[in-house]
């Protein structure tokens, strides 16, 4: 079916719809620009990326169609001085984009399954991670064509990954096997931690921007869970507010209590 991008704003009245844009295919992911508060990029089931401007009523500004299957994830670079976007697709490739250029700068091949997640390192310029149905977590460098590191992280499809905001070598993966695993890039033989509690596949995992050992995950078991991997009992809280699959979450950069 068709997709809609909803741009929301929080004010005294609560959360209100600021603007919405329609696209002719489902929209799977969205990322805000890091250099323009009005610009964001979505990716969709037709394999394309769309650039939108919330200051305009119509859109998109541009469409990039290079992936041959669903474009499932998109992320804007987090390090200073870079304005790069990475997308991951069910066509098993990741692509690097400069939003000012009309075509991709580079294509990254190596995964043997669909790519579910592509996330920039918040520390290392030009470095991103990808998680795939081929059961691997991979680390890439935009200056080198091949994969920098391939970690056989789970014996199941990996649906999500994220970088720790306080340790440039630490990542977390979430998979169909219901587990979260932490990985230190300097020693990938064993996970740093394994977090168990979800009863169905983990769809999204995010590290806290405020606490080095805190993370949040959501799952097809309808729950959102909060963890502190430094504690003997790492599961801090299970939130059961949703009545359907919980597919996404993020933690506010501005309000440390907001998810």
Q: What is the pLDDT of residue 144?
A: 84
- State how far the alpha carbon of 165 is from the alpha carbons of 18, 99, 114, 144, 208, in Å: 30, 25, 26, 24, 7
Break the chain into its structural domains and give their ranges.
3-152
Q: How confident is the model at residue 1 (pLDDT cuts 50, 70, 90)?
A: confident
Per the omega criterion (within 30 degrees of 0), is the bond before 133 cis? no
What is the spatial distance between Cα 165 and Cα 88, in angstroms, rounded to a whole number?
A: 22
Is residue 59 within 8 A of residue 21, CB to CB? The reply is: yes
Read off the pLDDT of each residue in 46-66 and give the average, rounded to a whole number.
95
Q: Is the pLDDT of residue 20 over 90?
A: yes
Nearest 5 degrees, angle CA 111-CA 48-CA 153? 25
What is the spatial distance between Cα 223 and Cα 179, in angstroms, rounded to a whole number?
A: 14
- Helix or strand run (H / E) with residue 179: strand 179-184
Candidate CATH numbers 2.130.10.10, 3.40.50.720, 3.50.50.60, 1.10.3720.10; the one for domain 3-152: 2.130.10.10
Give the model confidence (pLDDT) of 68-80 as tens digits. Answer: 999 999 999 988 8
State the number of CA atoms in the 13 A half-sphere of 176 facing the CB: 11
Q: What is the pLDDT of residue 102?
A: 86
Give the model confidence (pLDDT) of 76-107 as tens digits. Answer: 998 888 899 999 999 999 999 999 998 999 99
Q: What is the pLDDT of residue 199?
A: 97
Is residue 223 within 8 A of residue 240, CB to CB? The reply is: yes
> What residues contact 144, with CB distance under 8 A and at least 6 apart?
none
Read off the pLDDT of each residue in 20-28 and give the average, rounded to a whole number.
96
Is residue 133 within 8 A of residue 179, CB to CB? The reply is: no
Q: What percent of the chain has pLDDT over 70?
A: 100
Q: Is the pLDDT of residue 32 over 80?
A: yes
Is residue 97 within 8 A of residue 112, CB to CB? The reply is: no
Helices vs. strands in the chain: H and E counts, helices first: 0, 22
Q: What is the pLDDT of residue 145?
A: 72
Give the model confidence (pLDDT) of 154-194 as tens digits. Answer: 999 999 999 999 999 999 999 999 999 999 999 999 999 99
Q: What percent of the chain has pLDDT over 90?
A: 90
Is residue 92 within 8 A of residue 111, CB to CB? The reply is: yes
Average pLDDT of the chain, as a whole number: 96
Give the model confidence (pLDDT) of 224-239 as tens digits. Answer: 999 999 999 999 999 9
Read off the pLDDT of each residue in 112-118 and give the average, rounded to a whole number.
98
Q: What is the pLDDT of residue 115?
A: 98
DSSP state of 187: B
Q: What is the pLDDT of residue 80?
A: 83
Read off the pLDDT of each residue in 129-137 and give the average, rounded to a whole number.
98
- State how far the alpha carbon of 238 is from the alpha carbons of 129, 217, 229, in Å: 27, 10, 15
Nearest 5 degrees, angle CA 105-CA 61-CA 4? 105
Comparison of pLDDT for 71 and 144, the residue scoring more: 71
């Amino acid at each position: 079916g068709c997709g809609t991008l909803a741009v929301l704003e929080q004010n005294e009245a609560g959360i209100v719809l600021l603007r919405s844009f329609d696209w002719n295919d489902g929209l799977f992911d969205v990322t805000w620009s890091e250099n323009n508060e009005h610009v964001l990029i979505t990716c969709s089931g037709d394999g394309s990326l769309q650039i939108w401007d919330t200051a305009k009523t119509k859109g998109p500004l541009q469409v990039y169609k290079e992936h041959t299957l669903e474009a499932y994830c998109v992320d804007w670079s987090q390090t200073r001085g870079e304005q790069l976007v990475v997308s991951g697709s069910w066509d098993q490739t990741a692509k690097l984009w400069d939003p000012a250029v009309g075509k991709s700068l580079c294509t990254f091949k190596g995964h043997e399954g669909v790519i579910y997640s592509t996330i920039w390192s918040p520390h290392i310029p030009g470095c991103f991670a990808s998680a795939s149905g081929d059961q691997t977590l991979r680390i890439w460098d935009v200056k080198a064509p091949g994969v920098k590191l391939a970690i056989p992280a789970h014996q199941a499809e990996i649906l999500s990954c994220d970088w720790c905001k306080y340790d440039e070598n630490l990542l977390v993966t979430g998979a169909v096997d219901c587990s979260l695993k932490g990985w230190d890039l300097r020693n990938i033989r064993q996970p740093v931690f394994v977090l168990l509690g979800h009863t169905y596949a983990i769809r999204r995992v995010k590290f806290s921007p405020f606490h080095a050992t805190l993370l949040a995950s959501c799952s097809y078991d309808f729950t959102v869970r909060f963890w502190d991997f430094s504690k003997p009992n790492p599961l801090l809280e299970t939130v059961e507010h949703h009545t359907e699959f919980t597919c996404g979450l993020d933690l506010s950069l501005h309000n440390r209590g907001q998810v």
